[in-house]
Amino acid sequence: MTKRFEKQAQVQREQFGMFHAQQESIDILKQMIAQLLKKKKKGPKTKGKKEGESSSSENTESEKHSNPDSSESGSRHSRRMSNLEQRLEALTR
C-alpha cells in the first residue's frame, strides 16, 4: 500500500512539473504576443531577421522549461512551442 502511495506521489510531482513548464511556456507566449502587438501599434514592419530564424533567447526559454522525466510528452510540447514561435515570427514580418 505504501509503495502505491509513493508511486502516486511521484506521478503527481511529475504532472506538476509538466504543468509548471507548460504554464511558463504560456507566459512566454503571452509576452511574445504582447511584444508583437506593441510592434504593430508602433508602425510599419521592418525585416530584421531572415525567414525561419528566431532569437536565441526565445529558443533557450522554451528549451529551459522542458521536463526530462517525460521525454515523449516533453518532445511533443517542444515541437508545439517551436511551431508557435515560428508562426509568431511569421506574423512579425
Rounded CA separation 7/24 (Å): 26
Rounded CA separation 42/35 (Å): 11
Asked if 43 and 78 touch (Cβ cutoff 8 Å), the reply is: no
Quick one: average pLDDT of 48-70? 48
Q: The whole model's pTM is what? A: 0.45
**Each residue of 7-38: pLDDT tens digit?**
999 999 999 999 999 999 999 999 988 888 88
Q: How many CB atoms lie within 10 A of CB 68?
A: 7
Share of the chain above pLDDT 90, in %: 32
How high is the mean pLDDT of the chain? 76
Quick one: average pLDDT of 60-83? 64
